[in-house]
Chain A
Amino acid sequence: MSHSFLSIEGLTRKFPGKDGETVVFEDVNFSIEKGEFVCIIGHSGCGKSTILNVLAGLDTPTAGNIIMDGKEVLGPSLDRGVVFQNYSLLPWLTALENVVFGVRARFPQWDKKQVAEHSTKFLEMVGLGSSINKKPSELSGGMRQRVSIARAFATSPKLLLLDEPFGALDALTRGIIQDELIKIWSETHQTVFMITHDVDEAILLADRILLMTNGPHARVAESVKIGIERPRNRGSIIEDPAYYKIRNYLVNFLVNRSGELSGAENATGLPPQVVDPVSLEASAAPQEEIPEQAQAEHPSSAVKAAI
């Protein structure tokens, strides 16, 4: 475990409350390899965002530690770029200036021309070449999030943290930007840790999906391998025989087992169980049992229907 690029050991975060402290998550263990794209899925309130904030260095864990590239993570750093759900662009700067802001902070030794060229290149990668001089207020939500993604990739962090980057976008825009994210990721091979609520999005993008149990006392219970060949494509991925096996497995976890496995008494203190839904198929696979309506009957669950 300690050989991994990023390893999270015994991570716990408690918040003091009126009647005692709330344990958001407890004893979270997992690791990420270099160049891996990892998604984390769990219900609202399980502390996904808190884990991401701790990884970003914006929040401090109550216990446990994070080792990245042999060094402990202790505060915010340019080694870890963050894309927030609400874009977090500086509204008084243009799209280009927002990316330049990041690039200048990352490469202070570069001259103006080099910074501008590098920034423009990344804006073009996300398809914003013609809007680089617009202010965020003149851009749509999807375009703003592209600027934010371009800023994060342009600073080439060792680890990129995406906090539900497409959560506020409509389904069509989301699809287009997912494609752009795949494109830019396959060119840079960033290590990515991404929070999402969308099972299909996670299968499309991730090498591995971490599943969290419900909070409080949430933990990362399973690590699901996504063996679908790359390059993947939104149109053809649904024809892959593995796709629905994985999808059903994930939905079943979210609908049924994330609740069953939650609570302090189920804590094992062990790293998440590694699962490959495709090879699991024959042996008493729980995924066969969920009826199709299971998703519709659980509107409160964070599972989003397929586009």
Chain B
Amino acid sequence: MASLNMRATLVSLLILVVCLGLWEALNQPPEATEAMSEFELLMGGADDEARVPPPSDVLKHAWAELSNPFYDAGPNDKGIGIQLAYSLFRVLTGYFAAALIAIPLGFVVGMSPLMYKALNPFIQVLRPISPLAWMPLALFIIKDSEQSAIFVIFICSIWPMLINTAFGVANVREDWVRVAKTHELGPLKTAFQVILPAAAPTILTGMRISIGIAWLVIVAAEMLVGGTGIGYYVWNEWNNLDLNSVIFSILMIGVVGMALDLILGRVEKLVQYEE
């Protein structure tokens, strides 16, 4: 009997082949019922109806795109690598800016019951707001579409990090705080040597949720602000009616999102401890 992993891989491959096969089979151009007119031949065949391209076309297109990901042929025609790089830059800038504020603020909220009670209503009201709802206000105040997109990422990634940090810090075991107290650790040393490592797994979970949300939001934000980025690319290719590119970029969004999650998952493992 093969190992569980082997069998799971086989089943995954089977599902992939079946799905792609069905997609391929159902998306062939209709048979021409009569001889094509000269005009039809001139226009590229009897394909008079727009169809979702079959996977073979998408794969061919993907290969072409991936073999030259960083070409730049003007504002409307850039390689997928460049588009993703723009998106990643925005996501990471907004995300780290959010971390810089959310984690210290989460410490304050988690350590002080007063601040927790005082700030909680604001957090509860601001958190459910769709990040894109901030866009018009951001555009008006910041007057720069690029920075507005970064602000939207900032505002959407701040909440999970803030809430998880506060939760992790507030729930550090009393025993460990007592250890710090009986060893006469000052507030800063207590924060860095006891509370931070104790709350690190919870904080990292928040950071992992945040990066996932940020990557979801950047696509929508870039569809709005335009110019560059993977979100803009999807929308632009839709306007060009290039569905090969649309499907290809959807896949790329998934792959990059998975990579971001894997990286954060690794870091989370590093700070994990067993009680």
Chain A residues engaging chain B, CB cutoff 8 angstroms: 56-58, 76-78, 80-82, 84, 86, 88, 90-92, 101-102, 105-106, 135-137, 155
Chain B residues engaging chain A, CB cutoff 8 angstroms: 175-176, 178-179, 181-185, 193-194, 197-198, 200, 271, 273-275
Q: Say what secondary structure dominates the interface of chain A.
A: loop
Taking a contact as CB atoms under 8 Å apart, the answer to whether A88 and B273 are in contact is: no
Taking a contact as CB atoms under 8 Å apart, the answer to whether A84 and B178 are in contact is: yes
Taking a contact as CB atoms under 8 Å apart, the answer to whether B182 and A58 are in contact is: yes
Taking a contact as CB atoms under 8 Å apart, the answer to whether A137 and B183 are in contact is: no
Tell me which residues across on chain B come within 8 A of A80, comparing CB atoms.
182
Please pick, from B179, B181, B182, B184, the residue contacting A90 in the complex, using a CB distance under 8 A: B179
Q: Can you sample 25 A-B contacts with CB below 8 Å?
A: A56-B182, A57-B182, A76-B181, A76-B182, A77-B182, A78-B182, A78-B183, A80-B182, A82-B178, A84-B175, A84-B178, A88-B175, A88-B176, A88-B179, A90-B194, A90-B197, A90-B198, A91-B275, A92-B197, A92-B200, A101-B183, A102-B183, A105-B183, A105-B185, A137-B275
- 10 new A-B contacts, CB < 8 A, other than A76-B182, A88-B176, are A56-B182, A77-B182, A90-B198, A91-B273, A92-B198, A92-B273, A101-B179, A105-B184, A135-B273, A137-B273
The CA of A45 and the CA of B82, in the complex, are separated in Å by 69
Tell me which residues across on chain B come within 8 A of A88, comparing CB atoms.
175-176, 178-179
A102: nearest chain-B partner, CB-CB: B183
The CA of A136 and the CA of B274, in the complex, are separated in Å by 8
Tell me which residues across on chain A come within 8 A of B184, comparing CB atoms.
76-78, 105
Tell me which residues across on chain A come within 8 A of B273, comparing CB atoms.
91-92, 135, 137
The CA of A58 and the CA of B177, in the complex, are separated in Å by 10
Chain B proximity of A211: nearest CB distance (Å): 27
A138: nearest chain-B partner, CB-CB: B274
Interface centre among A78, A88, A106 (most CB of B within 10 A): A88
Taking a contact as CB atoms under 8 Å apart, the answer to whether B182 and A137 are in contact is: no
The CA of A137 and the CA of B275, in the complex, are separated in Å by 6
The CA of A82 and the CA of B183, in the complex, are separated in Å by 9
The CA of A178 and the CA of B96, in the complex, are separated in Å by 52
Tell me which residues across on chain A come within 8 A of B182, comparing CB atoms.
56-58, 76-78, 80-82
Tell me which residues across on chain B come within 8 A of A77, comparing CB atoms.
182, 184
The CA of A26 and the CA of B198, in the complex, are separated in Å by 37
Tell me which residues across on chain B come within 8 A of A102, comparing CB atoms.
183
Interface centre among B181, B183, B198, B273 (most CB of A within 10 A): B183
Tell me which residues across on chain A come within 8 A of B193, comparing CB atoms.
101
The CA of A77 and the CA of B200, in the complex, are separated in Å by 27
Taking a contact as CB atoms under 8 Å apart, the answer to whether B179 and A135 are in contact is: no
A152: nearest chain-B partner, CB-CB: B182
